[in-house]
Structure 1
Amino acid sequence: MCGIGGFVDYEHDARRYAAAAERMQRSLTPRGPDASGDYQDADAVLVHRRLIVIDPDGGAQPMHAPDGNTVLVYNGELYNTEEIRKDLIARGHTFRGHSDTEVLLHAFLEWDTDAFQRLNGIFAFAIWQKKERRLVLCRDRLGVKPLFVAHMQDGIVFGSTIGAVLCHPAIEPEVDEDGLRAVLLLGPARPPASGVFRQIDSLLPGHYAVLTPEGYTDHTYWKLEAREHTDTLEQTIERTHELICDAAKRQLVSDVPLACFLSGGLDSSILSMLAAKDYAARGETLHTWSVDYRDNDKYFTKNSFQPTSDDEFIQMMVSALGTQHHNVVIEPDALCAALLPATDARDLPGMADVDSSLLLFCAAVKQGGTTVCLSGECADELFGGYPWYHREEILFEDTFPWSRSVDLRLGLLAPGIVRDGAEFVREHYLATCRRAEKLPTDSKKDARMREMFVLNLDWFMATLLERSVAQGYRSRSSTPPRYSHSRTGSSYSHLYPM
């Protein structure tokens, strides 16, 4: 994980805001604790913080192109780096290292914005062309990597976090009425294009933006489309198997220690199995990590999302795969004490103890020597794992299925805090449903299922991705309270004092 930020000012010398650039870079340190860099000229300032995963020496940023005119700051990972590299080499490009950053930069030099459709990965990046005075911003197809943009009179400010954008003096930390309604009535989700604060927007997934002295334009390079499914059941199973195996294999590329989160569910178990096989073929043992809570065996209560406790299934998978397993046990007081650091990590109110538990868990994993983890997060959104996909009484409810009572939230607020709250939520719900493409041959259930998938991708999945990114990066440098590591029996209280 890395962090990017910067600003363009066509009217004034951008370097006069050097102090703001320094603050922006410091704010991104949790995302990139290993290295930093910046670029400055009269029009533009770019900053970068790096978490080193691939090519420690050859992937430093900002990265300058051989033409001396193009500069890239990049957060993410390309899973088809080698395919693109081979294509570029055939076209005459040469490379100094083996980082995906360098491949991305050369892909842009070769194809300009047409390169974005070729990228298989998770990313958010900014490219500055000095002679053309042109800034290009881009975000991956599903929005795994965040990118916020704020417009000012003669340019823009951008960053991986809202906090980074707010480091610029032209961007005020003001929440307008829509932002307040988003936090109070839709939180922890937020509208896809919203940055909650006045002036700040989120670049949409599958979009890129271009800024020149003539103006700012937003473009779509990918969107979800409805297509008829013509494969047989056997073909569908085989194709799904092929895609999952390919995705897992591509994400096992790392120059630093890598492990898997293992909860015992289908998603994390499948990924751990694939990773364990890959490691075994190399004569290595995969490390897996799980999380538990003190006295969970006493107080666990089953529900629609988790009908059974994880322990039994975790042990079954550990035994079957032969992984070196680590179990992190979180104390209740630690969970509560981490609530504020977890909120700080999001820059917005989030999911309370769901966030703080992940913060503590990731901190334990990092202290255990692992830098990169694979998880099955968001498989339910893609594979229909929630009750509202298969329980029709929920599927056909005409509202967000996970937030079905606006009145309950409004009842907690003093009169006048928000206006037209129900209408605000309703319009966002309907707008999302309208974005779902449908086919003329769809049954009523098929059409509703397409709407439900878009609702989940744009809202529920986006919230979980934001949680994972925020708590994963914050845990690298924050000081959350103590927890214990049950595999070794050791305590990390000396690292994280209360």
Structure 2
Amino acid sequence: MCGISGIRSYAGPPDAELVRRMMAALFHRGPDGSGYYRDEHVALGHTRLAIVDTAGGVQPMTNEDGTVWVSFNGEIFNYVELAAQLRDRGHTFRTHSDTEVIVHAWEEWGTGCFDRFNGQWALAIWDRRTSSLVLSRDRFGVRPLFYTQGSDRLLFASEVKALLADPEVPRRFDPAGLDEVLTFWSTLAPRTVFDGISQVPPGSYLVIGPDGETNEHRFWSPSFPDLTDRADRADRASMGAEEAAEALREAIVDAARLRFTRSDVPVGAYLSGGLDSAVTASVVAGFTEAPLHTFSLRFADAEFDEGSYQTLMARRLGTRHEDVVVRERDIAEIFPEVVRHAETPLLRTAPAPMFLLSRLVREAGFKVVVTGEGADEVLGGYDIFREARVRELWTRDPAAAEAAVERLYPWMRRSPNQAPAFARSFFGRNLVAGDPAMSHRPRWDSTSVLKSMLTQDMRVAADAAGDLAATMPAESSSWDVLSRAQWLEMTTLLPGYILASQGDRMLMGNSVEGRFPFLDPRLAELAGQVPADLLMRGLDEKHLLKRAFADLVPAEILARPKQPYRAPDAAAFFSSGSPDWLDAVTSPSAVREAGVFRPELVERLLAKCRRDGGRRIGNTDSMRLVAVISVQLLHHDFLAGAGQVEARPSQAPMAVFDRLRTPEMTQLTPS
């Protein structure tokens, strides 16, 4: 796991000092070493977190004759198998790294190599033979990749802060990007919240030609069975539960094996107390003779804590277990740093405890952890999928649907089943026959209420939800309602929030790599072909996963209702007194300077939170508060003044190949 950056210049040699500043901004992603390559047209930068072939995997890396160069962030888990295929085709390897597999795979298969990779990646390939720069991102968007293009050059990097090392990059919010965050909780690639800065969409690659022409290509997107195909439907219907569970188990075990064993450094595992991490930890524990090292997040507030289930699982597996107990004031203290790493507005504080958990992992001496992310999206685990079933039923039988609501949200204090009138309003809202996004309309509507606080300049006329629904594949009309909801989750919340704000950014902020067996492409393909009624039996979420691992997971965890990961929001900033930084970034003058929210409404919201320590405000006001605070922090750190984000200096060795200075690769160690 690493940080990548670079420059494609169309008017003279790229600036070596600029690419080094970009690399410095990514030091936290790769503290073990760095390097850059430069020629007349391109500079590629790299900061390394050494995990595979720790001695030989120095980047940027080239082929035998120096015509293909790569800077790579991530892991290609099937690199051993691909290397064997490439050797059979005559390729010679100098290292044992997955990076070199990318180089030779590009030579052999061109853009077809991305279909062959089983991994998580953001990478840049410079092909001197065609003067083409290629930027690629993995199927689900596990690893980030941003870029900005001007008239004379294109910059790319793992994080926005590296792009801002160039003073010519704009320092402005994009109102359309903010609108998307206040609808979906995240932007939709290629958009970001920063004007003039884009991101490579998941499952895509860009080809930037010699003249700067940029073409985007999609090599993967989520797909699901066509229910109107009678033959295909009959084949799937014939798949029994036992057969499907066995196939699922086999796929998960192999996906976990690749992600646990393909590492030259120790690998730990997260235990959340839920089903997904219980499965992954149980599986990977079988691939090590030494006790597995597990890590958990706990809360001082019992409402959010799952410690009893974590302890149960750790004892069952006999792991070396560590946890971090998070208090409300811990969240407030760390929140500015969390937003600097997230680089996007947040509507919840949930990423903050995840940052503290990855810090625990790093302090324990680990660089890699296996986690359960992706199981809910791929195998049907979210409440919103259950809601989709209820809403579909509501269009046919409102009375039966109203009764079904009582089975939802057993974990919630103020559940809709305690307020039938609210439930009818929530689930019966925007029920339009044939609407492919029917499952998500209530959630998007609820979040969009936050836009009422925006200034006039930040309001946009576009309909983000309608635009997204219009981009759904034409064949989605033939999908099951669960499949359509899964597609929407995989397009919005998964890449933009779960894998980014709560995932990559919080892990790499502490130089830790996360690996996600449930996002193995073979597993995703299998799950997409399983009948929806097996994934979710009635309203029993992840039914097939429970069946597949009933012998490894304790009954208490199998039977417990799905409890989404949550953290204290408003109370974190007000229950024990406000942190020192809060008043400065949310003062009326600071809010006016940012120009995003109306100062008088912000003042009213802050006063409301101060009255009771933020403990009694509702869900919408909690989201409003976190949105305001995070936007103000982003403005202060990224956009105000020079917009320069402070970078930590690196003392790690640097490998330099600069064709404009010397034909030899050199090793430099900063003083």
TM-score, normalization by structure 2: 0.65
Q: In the alignment, residue 11 of structure 1 is paired with which amino acid? A: A
Segment drifting more, 338-347 vs 409-418: 409-418
Structure 1 residues 435 and 171 mapped into 2: Cα distance closer, same or farther (>3 Å)?
farther
- Residues 183, 465 of structure 2: 8 Å contact kept: no
Partner in structure 2 of residue 489 of structure 1:
none
CA distance in 2, matches of 1:44, 1:182: 33
- Residues 178, 187 of structure 2: 8 Å contact kept: no
Segment drifting more, 405-414 vs 366-375: 405-414
- Residues 152, 170 of structure 1: 8 Å contact kept: no
CA distance in 2, matches of 1:145, 1:97: 24
What is the deviation of 1:416?
5.0
Give the number of the structure with larger relative contact order, counting CA–CA contacts within 8 Å between residues 6 or more apart. Answer: 2
Give the one of 243, 250, 256 matched to 1:242: 250
Partner in structure 2 of residue 475 of structure 1:
510
Structure 1 residues 419 and 129 mapped into 2: Cα distance closer, same or farther (>3 Å)?
closer
What is the deviation of 1:138?
1.0
Partner in structure 2 of residue 72 of structure 1:
70
CA distance in 2, matches of 1:419, 1:350: 19
Give the one of 274, 280, 305 matched to 1:271: 280
What is the deviation of 1:293?
1.8
| Aligned residue runs from structure 1 range 102-121, under 5 A | 102-121=100-119
Structure 1 residues 415 and 11 mapped into 2: Cα distance closer, same or farther (>3 Å)?
closer
CA distance in 2, matches of 1:61, 1:270: 35
CA distance in 1, matches of 2:460, 2:40: 44
Partner in structure 1 of residue 416 of structure 2:
none
Partner in structure 1 of residue 297 of structure 2:
291
What is the deviation of 1:415?
4.7
Residue 141 of structure 2: SS of its match in structure 1?
coil
Give the one of 199, 203, 226 matched to 2:200: 203
| Aligned residue runs from structure 1 range 83-102, under 5 A | 83-102=81-100
What is the deviation of 1:400?
4.2
C-alpha RMSD of matched pairs (Å)? 2.0
Partner in structure 2 of residue 316 of structure 1:
312
Q: In the alignment, residue 474 of structure 1 is paired with which amino acid? A: G
What is the deviation of 1:449?
2.1
Partner in structure 1 of residue 482 of structure 2:
449
Segment drifting more, 448-457 vs 170-179: 170-179
Structure 1 residues 39 and 333 mapped into 2: Cα distance closer, same or farther (>3 Å)?
same
Please say if 1:371 is aligned against 2:410.
no
CA distance in 1, matches of 2:219, 2:465: 28
What is the deviation of 1:418?
1.0
- Residues 183, 445 of structure 2: 8 Å contact kept: no
Give the one of 118, 121, 135 matched to 1:123: 121
Partner in structure 2 of residue 410 of structure 1:
451
CA distance in 1, matches of 2:165, 2:20: 9
CA distance in 2, matches of 1:316, 1:292: 14
- Select the structure of larger CA radius of gyration: 2
Partner in structure 2 of residue 385 of structure 1:
381
- Residues 142, 205 of structure 1: 8 Å contact kept: yes
CA distance in 1, matches of 2:380, 2:492: 15
- Residues 288, 326 of structure 1: 8 Å contact kept: yes
CA distance in 1, matches of 2:324, 2:362: 12
Q: In the alignment, residue 7 of structure 1 is paired with which amino acid? A: I
CA distance in 2, matches of 1:242, 1:401: 37
Q: In the alignment, residue 274 of structure 2 is paired with which amino acid? A: G
Please say if 1:259 is aligned against 2:268.
yes
- Residues 5, 46 of structure 2: 8 Å contact kept: yes
- Residues 46, 62 of structure 1: 8 Å contact kept: yes
Please say if 1:138 is aligned against 2:136.
yes
- Answer 1 or 2: which has greater helix percent: 2
Please say if 1:427 is aligned against 2:503.
no
Partner in structure 2 of residue 491 of structure 1:
none
Residue 143 of structure 2: SS of its match in structure 1?
coil
CA distance in 2, matches of 1:91, 1:341: 48
What is the deviation of 1:182?
3.0
What is the deviation of 1:82?
1.1
What is the deviation of 1:212?
1.4
- Residues 338, 506 of structure 2: 8 Å contact kept: yes
Partner in structure 1 of residue 629 of structure 2:
none
CA distance in 2, matches of 1:425, 1:109: 40
After the TM superposition, list the runs of 4 or more consecutive aligned residues in structure 1 that deviate by more than 4 angstroms. Answer: 394-397
The count of corresponding residues between Structure 1 and Structure 2 is: 453
TM-score, normalization by structure 1: 0.86
Give the one of 430, 438, 460 matched to 2:476: 438
| Aligned residue runs from structure 1 range 335-354, under 5 A | 335-354=331-350
What is the deviation of 1:18?
2.2
Segment drifting more, 221-230 vs 310-319: 221-230
Structure 1 residues 375 and 400 mapped into 2: Cα distance closer, same or farther (>3 Å)?
farther
Q: In the alignment, residue 127 of structure 1 is paired with which amino acid? A: I
CA distance in 1, matches of 2:498, 2:132: 33
**Structure 2: stretches of 5+ with no match in the other structure:** 226-231, 393-426, 431-437, 513-671
CA distance in 2, matches of 1:233, 1:404: 37
Structure 1 residues 287 and 456 mapped into 2: Cα distance closer, same or farther (>3 Å)?
same
Provide, for residues 134-161 of structure 1, a one-character-per-residue CA deviation record: whole Å limited to 9, x for no partner.
Answer: 1111111111111112121134211111
Q: In the alignment, residue 456 of structure 1 is paired with which amino acid? A: E
- Residues 400, 455 of structure 1: 8 Å contact kept: no
CA distance in 2, matches of 1:394, 1:387: 12
Give the one of 355, 358, 361 matched to 2:351: 355
Structure 1 residues 45 and 124 mapped into 2: Cα distance closer, same or farther (>3 Å)?
same
Residue 149 of structure 1: SS of its match in structure 2?
strand
Provide, for residues 330-376 of structure 1, a one-character-per-residue CA deviation record: whole Å limited to 9, x for no partner.
Answer: 23222211000000001222254211111111111100111100110
Q: In the alignment, residue 459 of structure 2 is paired with which amino acid? A: V
What is the deviation of 1:387?
1.4
**Structure 1: stretches of 5+ with no match in the other structure:** 302-308, 478-498
Please say if 1:326 is aligned against 2:359.
no
Structure 1 residues 171 and 386 mapped into 2: Cα distance closer, same or farther (>3 Å)?
same
CA distance in 2, matches of 1:65, 1:225: 35
- Residues 258, 373 of structure 1: 8 Å contact kept: yes
CA distance in 2, matches of 1:380, 1:289: 20
Segment drifting more, 23-32 vs 326-335: 326-335
Please say if 1:47 is aligned against 2:45.
yes
Please say if 1:461 is aligned against 2:490.
no
- Identical amino acids, percent of aligned pairs: 32
- Residues 181, 418 of structure 1: 8 Å contact kept: yes
Residue 499 of structure 2: SS of its match in structure 1?
helix
Structure 1 residues 56 and 401 mapped into 2: Cα distance closer, same or farther (>3 Å)?
farther
CA distance in 2, matches of 1:342, 1:177: 22
Residue 115 of structure 1: SS of its match in structure 2?
helix
What is the deviation of 1:437?
3.3
Residue 84 of structure 1: SS of its match in structure 2?
helix
Partner in structure 2 of residue 485 of structure 1:
none
- Answer 1 or 2: which has greater strand percent: 1
CA distance in 2, matches of 1:151, 1:426: 27
